């Protein structure tokens, strides 16, 4: 079986929904540090971190993406099998570094079945000591190195590029998105996930490009999401933004795009104040309008790389622009855009700037593998 077929199988498998997998439902009680670890009863989950960093000894800037996906292949109630070739989960990793100063984009995809110990997603153990691995592939991993302070380490090898970063939250309590951490993304009961974030994390470590190490510092954003869900039958992709503003507030906002060119009313967001308090943002509260398009020379896909975000109820108007255009992950079988952005605008007449990350999916092709049928 080719790697491409394995990936397609893993993606499509992660979208099926049935009684054998646990759904995301209201009433879930989050527990830490346990929820940083794997949730094998759910079909799919991911550990996702992005951020904007700066070299400590120069003006060179970088964007970083780290994502490890776990896709469940065998429900927890499956008959036990002793063969080492039969695995319960499949591992997939997407890693990228945007050299913002030189406008160079480095990215890689890592695939592992886990049958030979090349991937793993440990469950939480109360007797374990720090550090403890949360998820790993053969070359990349995320570790919890201080469970009391929620400090993590992310390590990725992209070939000619790598990074080793320590990320520590400025606020020890995570932000929960949606209704008590249940992010409803469509009308179906299955179109929901458990979703929390650490939205501003102090970051230190090393980025190495073509053998040259750069000591870096800055801020990152860590997302944790798990579900047994799928896109609705009419949802073809999404536009997602994680913004860290210079007034020490943050915004997470996204819209699910539909086949008729509209946006799903279940699209939503969260505004996080400097002190950590949150304001939920409904679909009717905001607008996201494309301003500037960029056509990929690699895939021919056209992406909106500059956006206008308006949230009238709190008088926010922002322009969100890609730090540079070429930040497309041209991967097989799913190509999408994941890049560092610069934010410029105002709130209540005052200047408001910042940085963040933008993810655009379904532009190279509709995400049919993720749609319910």
Mean pLDDT of the chain: 88
User: Distances in Å between the alpha carbon of 275 and those of 146, 199, 202, 249, 270?
Assistant: 23, 12, 16, 8, 14
Number of neighbours of residue 260 by Cβ within 10 angstroms: 7
Q: Is the pTM of this model over 0.85?
A: yes
The structural domains of the chain, with segments of one domain joined by +, span 3-370
Residue among 126, 133, 169 at smallest CA distance from 150:
169
DSSP state, 237? E
Give 274's strand partners.
none
Q: Which helix (H) or strand (E) holds 168?
A: strand 161-169
Quick one: pLDDT at residue 22?
Answer: 78
Rounded CA separation 350/143 (Å): 40
Q: How many CA atoms lie within 13 A of 92 on its CB side?
A: 22
Q: Cα 283–289–293 angle (5° rounding)?
A: 140
For the chain, the straight-line distance linking the first and the last C-alpha, in angstroms and rounded, comes to: 25
CATH of the domain spanning 3-370, picked from 2.40.370.10, 3.40.640.10, 1.10.287.70, 1.20.1050.90: 2.40.370.10
**In this predicted model, what pLDDT tens digit does every residue of 305-314 receive, in sequence order?**
999 999 998 9
**In this predicted model, what pLDDT tens digit does every residue of 169-217 receive, in sequence order?**
999 999 999 988 988 888 777 788 899 999 999 999 999 999 999 999 9
pLDDT at 7 over 50: no
pLDDT at 11 over 80: no
**In this predicted model, what pLDDT tens digit does every residue of 82-108 receive, in sequence order?**
656 656 667 899 999 999 999 999 999
Q: By mean pLDDT, which of 68-77, 151-160, 312-321 is the weakest?
A: 68-77
Quick one: pLDDT at residue 222?
Answer: 98
Exposure of 278 by Cβ count < 10 A (0-12 exposed, 13-18 middle, 19+ buried)?
middle
Rounded CA separation 82/70 (Å): 21
Q: Which residues, 6+ apart, have CB-to-CB distance to 168 below 8 Å? A: 146, 149, 150, 151, 152, 201, 202, 203
Grouping H, G, I as helix, E, B as strand and the rest as coil, residue 336 is strand
């Amino acid at each position: 079986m080719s790697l491409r077929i394995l990936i397609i199988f893993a993606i499509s498998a992660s979208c099926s929904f049935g009684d054998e997998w646990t759904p995301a439902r209201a009433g879930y009680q989050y527990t830490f540090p346990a929820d940083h670890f794997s949730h094998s009863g759910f079909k799919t989950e991911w550990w996702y971190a992005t951020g904007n960093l700066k070299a400590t000894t120069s003006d060179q800037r970088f964007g970083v993406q780290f994502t490890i996906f776990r896709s469940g292949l065998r429900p927890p109630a499956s008959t036990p099998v002793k063969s080492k070739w039969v695995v319960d989960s499949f591992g997939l990793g997407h890693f990228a570094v945007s050299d913002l100063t030189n406008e160079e984009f480095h990215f890689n995809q890592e695939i592992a079945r886990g049958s030979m110990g090349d991937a793993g997603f440990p469950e939480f153990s109360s007797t374990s000591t720090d550090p403890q691995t949360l998820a790993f592939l053969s070359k990349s991993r995320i570790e919890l190195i201080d469970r009391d302070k929620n400090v993590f380490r992310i390590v990725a090898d992209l070939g000619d590029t790598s990074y080793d970063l320590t990320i520590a939250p400025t606020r020890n309590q995570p932000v929960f998105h949606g209704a008590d951490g249940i992010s409803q993304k469509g009308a179906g009961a299955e179109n929901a996930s458990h979703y929390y974030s650490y939205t501003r994390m102090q970051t230190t470590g090393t980025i190495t490009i073509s053998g040259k190490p750069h000591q870096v510092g800055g801020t990152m954003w860590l997302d944790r999401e798990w579900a047994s869900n799928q896109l609705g039958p009419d949802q073809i992709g999404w536009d997602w933004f994680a913004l860290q503003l210079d007034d020490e507030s943050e915004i997470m906002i996204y819209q699910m795009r539909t086949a008729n060119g509209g946006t799903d009313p279940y699209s939503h967001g969260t505004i996080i104040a400097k002190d950590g308090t949150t304001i939920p943002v409904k679909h009717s509260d905001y607008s996201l309008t494309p301003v500037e398009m960029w056509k990929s020379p690699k895939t021919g896909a056209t992406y909106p790389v500059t956006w206008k975000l308006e949230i009238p109820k709190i008088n926010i108007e922002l322009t969100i622009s890609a730090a540079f255009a070429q930040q497309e992950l041209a991967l097989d079988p799913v190509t999408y855009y994941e890049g560092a952005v610069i934010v410029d605008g105002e709130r209540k007449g005052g200047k408001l700037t910042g940085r963040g990350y933008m993810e655009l999916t379904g532009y190279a092709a509709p995400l049919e593998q993720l749609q319910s049928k």
